[in-house]
Structure 1
């Protein structure tokens, strides 16, 4: 917040300084005033106090003065508005926060909405931050929002079971909804409402009970995750295939420089609609990454695809690589 105001105030005073310099130089050479008189004329012109001229102005000097007054009034008004906004923000920071959030919401689209900022919601947010995906969080607990308001994303305060809150989160323009609430009934209701509002929305929901799984799917969720079942399966796998599970865990470590797996669409890599084989793009020699999976436009998956497999529009590839190789991939295709 301070950085935002610091930038605005700097801009305002920089503009005032520039106009002042233009006024001084203009009066010095257009009206042939001395430097002291030029400074005096600039000050009284910009401040519009109405004092008389040092000496009569010719036509060119009058035109210059008119232009100077116009620009001065505009810049003064801007500077006053910035300073006033800063003063009011000191006494009402919530108002400023809401105003900033509204500006962001007016522009946001194709974003992800996370409902709930509990343990699962926080994990989802960390993952999306690592992959630099645009998202926001709907949270009903004011204390949770205040505790985490300095995070690199925005909160919408409200109950996501209400359509007004979902609409405030721009669900019509969103690409995905992640429901992480602990109560299955709440997740079910949100999924049902979200699907009615946005038919094309990808919905991922949490479920705690086996009986809720099918109900949430029928309500419109594309994927339903049961954290307790995943946790138990994961722990058992550490006994059966411990090295494999530890290896997979290392692939999914969250961090700004620890992304090891990336999904890339055909359209993100190529501007045209021309098909190419895996061998043609030669991804390993260009970036160091290895293609470990392929999803066709029809939704069919291929694990460890052959080099002669053709990549077509609408398809996706899954690549594996060290963090620096993933960065090289992103730079290569400007992802």
Structure 2
């Protein structure tokens, strides 16, 4: 069931940590503190004959409240004192422990709540200050989770990924997976602004509807003309709309699944190899790396990795094309390699976005 519209419009940011409302926590503790005061007032008023006022009057209810407040806060003016044995015993057994509980509860937890709130604000400010060249994932369903898994296995730190999803449950799951998350609709500009989309290096959009993907792409591209935007599209006929909206790359999820199913039926061994290449962490993997100095001037076939393509000046060339007979300084190679090779952290640099 879809979340109600007001919740999606709130655009709640969650960092990967359980957040407790300081107002609610403080309010509940104040309520408990007032209850303790009421207990002490009742105890003192019931045994009011065992107390002596400075003016030799008997204790009224107001006197009992006054005595309780100055006693519980350890002010102690001394104008009202317990004189009978029973009153002193009640002070020792009941009032003194309640006074200690009161101080611990009210003063201690108030400082704790204020400190927690301050830490949370500092954490938010630090997150916003350092969140640059990060990855924004729109949608935390099956495709979004797979994207996060592939990114982290490729060397991207979880601290550099933020998830946007209108579902509260998906947001909580992303948070429990160690990711910052925002509850909100990524077609809304304010939601993408909260995700620092203007500073993002990549934006991956995996919505369940193509019309939402188009609008989210338009909004993201308007905020960040330089970001590399990859969009999962359900229908082939909508690819041109996403391209016109600003998507750099599109992946047709339904057709890709259909091709894999057909390959598994017609050529099982080929499907197994492709699945291995697309599954990060073991076996073969598809990766992109800079050309090494000793590879410059040589053929792509000479490299230690199996080269599939070469990115040069924002264009992708297949390894067999004449434009890349020899490698040049600044080339980026798309290779198939052993997934067990040591990986270097992902660099924020990427190929310049080609003009449309």
Question: Normalised by the size of structure 1, how large is the TM-score?
Answer: 0.61
Report the structure number with the largest CA radius of gyration.
2
Number of residues of Structure 1 aligned to a counterpart in Structure 2: 239
**What's the counterpart of residue 130 of structure 1?**
153
Residue 177 of structure 2 aligns to a residue whose secondary structure is coil
| 1:211–1:97 Cα change, 3 Å | farther
2:187 pairs with 1:161: yes
**What's the counterpart of residue 67 of structure 1?**
none
* Contact 2:300/2:327 (8 A) holds in 1: no
**What's the counterpart of residue 250 of structure 1?**
276
2:207 pairs with 1:181: yes
* Contact 2:154/2:280 (8 A) holds in 1: no
| 1:258–1:96 Cα change, 3 Å | farther
Per-residue displacement from partner, 1:68-116 (whole Å, max 9, x unpaired)? xxxxxxxxxxxxxxx9899328987xx8556534422211211111101
Residue 311 of structure 1 aligns to a residue whose secondary structure is coil
**What's the counterpart of residue 113 of structure 2?**
88
- Considering fraction of residues, name the structure with more helix: 1
Higher relative CO (CA 8 A, sep ≥ 6), structure 1 or 2? 2
Q: Which runs of 5+ in 2 are unaligned?
A: 1-14, 18-107, 350-356
> Equivalences for 1:10-29 in 2 at 5 Å?
none
Aligned-partner Cα distance in 2 for 1:164–1:204: 20
**What's the counterpart of residue 296 of structure 2?**
276
* Contact 1:213/1:224 (8 A) holds in 2: yes
Aligned-partner Cα distance in 2 for 1:226–1:292: 21
Q: Which runs of 5+ in 1 are unaligned?
A: 4-82
User: Which one of the candidate residues 139, 148, 155 is aligned to 1:116?
Assistant: 139
Question: Normalised by the size of structure 2, how large is the TM-score?
Answer: 0.57
* Contact 1:115/1:181 (8 A) holds in 2: yes
| 1:304–1:100 Cα change, 3 Å | farther
Aligned-partner Cα distance in 2 for 1:85–1:209: 55
Aligned-partner Cα distance in 2 for 1:182–1:113: 16
Residue 310 of structure 1 aligns to a residue whose secondary structure is coil
Aligned-partner Cα distance in 2 for 1:207–1:137: 18
* Contact 1:292/1:305 (8 A) holds in 2: no
Residue 315 of structure 2 aligns to a residue whose secondary structure is coil
| Aligned-CA RMSD value | 3.7
User: Which one of the candidate residues 234, 259, 266 is aligned to 1:240?
Assistant: 266
